[in-house]
Amino acid sequence: MKETNLKKIRNAMEKLQDAKRFEHTLGVEYTAAALAMRYGEDIKNARTAGLLHDCAKCLSDKKRLSICRKNKIPMTELEKKNPFLLHGKVGAYLAKQKYGIKNQDVLNAIRNHTTGRQGMSLLEKIVFIADYIEPCRKHAPNLAEIRMLAFVDIDKAMLKILEDTLNYLKDSGGDIDPMTEATWQHLLSQSTASDKEVKEG
């Protein structure tokens, strides 16, 4: 499969995913493209990552664990305990091996779309945010505010999403991925330093 053949990837996802998941996938593709236009990122790369971000979501936990073990994909203890968290890592692997994606930025965007990471590229931020704000999302807190913020200041939108996600997990007693916490801390320190420069300048 050619890396840029979006129609083939879209058809493959339609066969692979149930109707609700596929609708979400199309929403992420659309939103990622819109954000790419806004911030000057490659639109085709954004659409490709958007289409493939959940390509491992419909696999069983057993299958995701098996793919990681067979291919020596590193897993944290939290991921072993909650294998659904592996869908980003496994998705990046499948995107490369099954769907022929060679662009490392696209693969990283798929890999890190749920937790983020320190030093994210623009494309990674776009897919992370698109997954959160796409039109079919309804229940996330502060969604209207974040949707507007995403097109004004991408880093502030990232911060708000991470903050709301961490608050939700803390309030609900869910397991917090250390990568999510580290991403939030990293962006927060960058934001604080940037605000300080503006004030001093």
DSSP 146-192: HHHHHTT-HHHHHHHHHHHHHHHHHHHTPPPPHHHHHHHHHHHHHHH
Q: Measured between alpha carbons, how far apart are the two ends of the chain, in Å?
A: 51
Is residue 36 a part of any domain in this protein? yes
Please compute the mean of the pLDDT values over residues 81-94 and round it to a whole number. 96
Residue 92: give the domain boundaries: 6-141
Provide the domain count of the chain: 1
Is residue 170 a part of any domain in this protein? no
Is residue 148 a part of any domain in this protein? no
Distance CA 127, CA 32 (A): 6
164-173 long-range Cβ contacts below 8 angstroms, 24+ apart: 164/140, 167/141, 168/141
**What is the per-residue pLDDT for 149?**
98
* CATH number of the CATH domain containing 113: 1.10.3210.10
Q: Dump pLDDT digits (tens) for 130-140.
A: 999 999 998 88
Please compute the mean of the pLDDT values over residues 126-149 and round it to a whole number. 95
Helix (H, G, I), strand (E, B) or coil at 142: coil
Which structure tokens are listed for 27? 């929403």
**Model-level pTM?**
0.93
Residue 199 has pLDDT above 70, yes or no: no
